[in-house]
Chain A
């Protein structure tokens, strides 16, 4: 694979072929992620987790991925305990870290921080979320979930639902879906619509994009319903929030009209967007989606850092 030694800052850094290879590799990683088989392509490798913002699931899944591949982690779990407090720049902190580790995984509240880190480091850098910016491994695991369910990505009809304005996962997901010729339906209240820049880029990349505010109509013939969190903090008025959140709530009754094979996805944690009665239906894919976080991150770290493959994998 051509990813060896490379950074992953934005999903746009990857070609369609590279994404396909990563998804195929992630599939093979599943038994290793579950611990039923063992491999050590990251033996003697140290991966630094530079988390300048609280995160549990992303950090833990990266740490598990490293350990499952036989590597070791060093972790900055909270910016307040690091030199950042003493006024050291991110640039200098990363510079220092890159001399202690073979690769750096970074989560930081400012947009562009991961790009800066990649320039400061002479080791590969993986973006694990930069503010409202990119979160490429989230996008990869979203794609892996769809790929696993349908055996392909091309031609899928995907509804992106809820907060398309601030939800950081949807912009890069939409971009990646465009790369695979998916049909993207945007379904959100006008106040949370996809920003113009993201919309323009989607069109430029040749995506078929439509808008449908009404959830029921948006869902018609859809293969994937990707639900995002609608955050209370985005609304000045609580009544307005209740109204919007209420009209984007997915429950089992609503799904009766859906295609039998439709999958419902959500980056989790959910806050009432998906009723618990969906969990027991064959539509629920969000727990599988969060399970795939580890094998997908394993596939990526292996591609960037892994040693030569011994035997069949």
Chain B
């Protein structure tokens, strides 16, 4: 059964299978204000899903995700899938994928970390454990688990 709760888009990105309740965080990562002003962003909350029970979906017209944003989404919504829509068709579909290093997406939770001082460097974390994900600051060695609270 093909069901589109929201108006189809011609070109853009669909982020599907977001764990229920996290769509707004995904929007925060996308940075809604930076999205092209003629594009529509649609959000579906609490949608029935076989796999997850309930899920959220975010669709953005005329936008393809940068690797950095895709990494950030992978952190907070590891079950998400990303579909690239071109000419109303799904041209590419992939699960989000957590790389080995996350650069610039999070702030280090250690207030005394050098990356929280005015230095010309970006934060950098190594993925030191998967499922559940644990990141370790490449500078001060502090571990982070609650990513939502440390998005840069």
Residues of A with Cβ closer than 8 Å to B?
A: 10, 89-92, 108-113, 115-116, 119, 130-134, 197
Summarize A's interface: helix, strand, loop or mixed: mixed
Contact partners of B120 in chain A: CB under 8 A: 89, 91-92
A90 to B116, CA, bound (A): 13
Cβ 8 A contact of B139, one of A92, A109, A112: A112
A133 to B115, CA, bound (A): 14
Chain B, Cβ-Cβ closest to A119: B121
B24 at the interface (CB under 8 A from A): no
Contact partners of B26 in chain A: CB under 8 A: none
A111–B119 CB distance below 8 A: no
Interface string of B113-135 (1 = CB under 8 A from A): 11101111100000000000000
A115–B118 CB distance below 8 A: no
Please indicate which of the listed interface residues B114, B119, B121, B137 has the most CB atoms of chain A within 10 Å of its own CB. B114
Residues of B with Cβ closer than 8 Å to A?
A: 108, 110, 112-115, 117-121, 137-143
A116–B142 CB distance below 8 A: no
Chain B, Cβ-Cβ closest to A87: B118
Min CB gap A75→B, angstroms? 21
Contact partners of B142 in chain A: CB under 8 A: 111, 197
A90–B114 CB distance below 8 A: yes
Min CB gap B133→A, angstroms? 15
B143–A113 CB distance below 8 A: no
B140–A91 CB distance below 8 A: no
Cβ 8 A contact of A197, one of B117, B119, B143: B143
A109 to B140, CA, bound (A): 12
A119 to B119, CA, bound (A): 12
Chain B, Cβ-Cβ closest to A90: B119
Contact partners of A130 in chain B: CB under 8 A: 114, 140
A116 to B112, CA, bound (A): 14
Chain B, Cβ-Cβ closest to A200: B143
Given contacts A89-B119, A115-B114, A119-B121, 6 further A-B contacts (CB under 8 A): A110-B140, A111-B114, A112-B110, A112-B115, A112-B139, A133-B141
Please indicate which of the listed interface residues A91, A108, A113 has the most CB atoms of chain B within 10 Å of its own CB. A113
